[in-house]
């Protein structure tokens, strides 16, 4: 193995830069050359890349976003896209490819690997933490802490004005951010796609809380748990509370990575190079029981990650 390629793909996540730095710093002393495709798979398809060295990646550790930039490349869902990606990798003589991204990116990576035989290692980076086979992903901890800081501030004004706030957090398909930030913020209600809810019951819960003398509250809602405007409207109409809506949006994707996101990025980045050198062909760097282990990339990109119902029930029990 002489030349490895790296790309950051899909939604960016704080810590992607720290992972890139770790990959380069682990690869160069082992005699490998490293290229980085720009703008994720879009840059791969356009054959846009830069050579990376350990001096260049110095200073990236604390930066949010991704130095290599990213994109959502629809073309990778087509056969033409996959075959173009294979041509570019082969044309450049790439011996191993490291994809820092989420499960959509890993699906395309598996197809590239199957079509070309080029070893590919996935480094899971997604604020959503929705990748099977790993307990956590790069960027998740940062996003949860960003959302938590915002919700703590919202809690202050909610209490002062005796209002209920519906706070929408990211999580298009899954509710892992909503669950963890909801528990940490003591949210009175947490709405996630994984747990069906009846809006009447949500209203009753808030009315019950009000009867016990609590005059404000926070409803944390994942994007994928329904229309937050409708939820706000229903709560306002049926609970007697004045209700406000806050959509946290993309602030959760940016910002300096937390120590936890950086440590994970360092470990996973270094492990991805090690896995390539060990001859692994299609794996993801995963955390299981606190250790970094290889997990089949296909498993990671096709299996649905289980939702922690116990944690959800705990959150609900503690905030009633």
Site residues for ligand F6P per CB under 6 A: 11, 72, 126-128, 170-172, 223, 253
Catalytic one of 53, 95, 128, 141: 128
Give the nearer residue to ligand F6P in terms of CB position, either 109 or 118: 109
Give the nearer residue to ligand F6P in terms of CB position, either 30 or 172: 172
Instruction: Sort 70 into a burial class: Cβ within 10 Å, 0-12 / 13-18 / 19+.
Output: buried
Residue nearest to ligand F6P (CB): 11
Give the nearer residue to ligand F6P in terms of CB position, either 1 or 251: 251
Contact 178, 221 (CB under 8 A): yes
Give the nearer residue to ligand F6P in terms of CB position, either 116 or 258: 258
Chain Cα centroid distance, residue 6 = 18
Helix (H, G, I), strand (E, B) or coil at 35: strand
Smallest distance, ligand F6P to C-beta of residue 176, A = 10
Give the nearer residue to ligand F6P in terms of CB position, either 70 or 216: 70
Largest CA distance in the chain: 69
Give the nearer residue to ligand F6P in terms of CB position, either 109 or 203: 109
C-alpha to C-alpha distance for 165 and 186, rounded to whole angstroms: 13
Smallest distance, ligand F6P to C-beta of residue 126, A = 6
| Contacts of residue 106, Cβ cutoff 8 Å, sequence gap at least 6 | 99, 122, 124, 131, 284, 297, 300, 301
Token pair, residue 52, equals: 């990376």
What is the DSSP secondary-structure string of 276-294?
HHTT--EEEEEEETTEEEE
Q: Which long-range contacts (CB under 8 A, 24 or more apart) does 275-282 make?
A: 275/121, 276/1, 276/4, 276/96, 276/98, 276/119, 276/121, 277/1, 277/30, 279/119, 280/119, 280/121, 281/113, 281/117, 281/119, 281/120, 282/109, 282/110, 282/113, 282/119, 282/120
Smallest distance, ligand F6P to C-beta of residue 69, A = 13
- Active site annotation includes 128: yes
C-alpha to C-alpha distance for 22 and 61, rounded to whole angstroms: 9
Contact 109, 120 (CB under 8 A): yes
Smallest distance, ligand F6P to C-beta of residue 192, A = 12
Smallest distance, ligand F6P to C-beta of residue 202, A = 22
Smallest distance, ligand F6P to C-beta of residue 36, A = 20
Q: Active-site positions? A: 128
């Amino acid at each position: 193995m002489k030349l490895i390629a790296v790309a950051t793909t899909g939604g960016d996540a704080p810590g992607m830069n720290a992972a890139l730095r770790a990959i380069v710093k682990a690869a160069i002393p082992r005699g490998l050359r490293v290229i980085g495709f720009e703008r994720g798979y879009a840059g791969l398809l356009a054959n846009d890349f830069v050579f990376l060295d350990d001096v260049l990646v110095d200073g990236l550790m604390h930066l949010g976003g991704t130095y290599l930039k990213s994109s959502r490349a629809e073309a990778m869902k087509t056969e033409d896209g996959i075959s173009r990606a294979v041509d570019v990798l082969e044309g450049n003589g790439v011996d191993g490819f490291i994809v820092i991204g989420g499960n959509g990116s890993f699906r395309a990576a598996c197809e590239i690997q199957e079509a070309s035989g080029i070893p590919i290692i996935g480094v899971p980076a997604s604020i959503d933490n929705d990748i099977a086979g790993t307990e956590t992903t790069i960027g998740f901890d940062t996003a949860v802490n960003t959302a938590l800081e915002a919700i703590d501030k919202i809690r202050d004004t909610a209490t002062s004005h005796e209002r209920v706030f519906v706070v929408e957090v990211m999580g298009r398909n899954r509710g892992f951010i909503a669950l963890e930030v909801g528990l940490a913020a003591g949210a009175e209600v947490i709405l996630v796609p994984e747990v069906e809810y009846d809006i009447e019951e949500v209203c009753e819960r808030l009315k019950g809380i009000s009867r016990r003398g609590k005059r404000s509250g926070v409803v944390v809602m994942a994007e994928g748990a329904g229309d937050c405007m409708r939820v706000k409207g229903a709560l306002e109409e049926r609970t007697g509370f004045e209700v406000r809506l806050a959509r946290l949006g993309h602030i959760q994707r940016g910002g300096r990575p937390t120590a936890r996101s950086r440590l994970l990025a360092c470990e996973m980045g270094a492990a991805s190079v090690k896995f390539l050198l060990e001859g692994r062909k299609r794996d993801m760097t995963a955390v299981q029981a606190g250790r970094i282990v290889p997990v089949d990339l296909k498993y990671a990109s096709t299996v649905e990650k289980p939702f922690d119902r116990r944690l959800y029930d705990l959150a609900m029990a503690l905030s009633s």
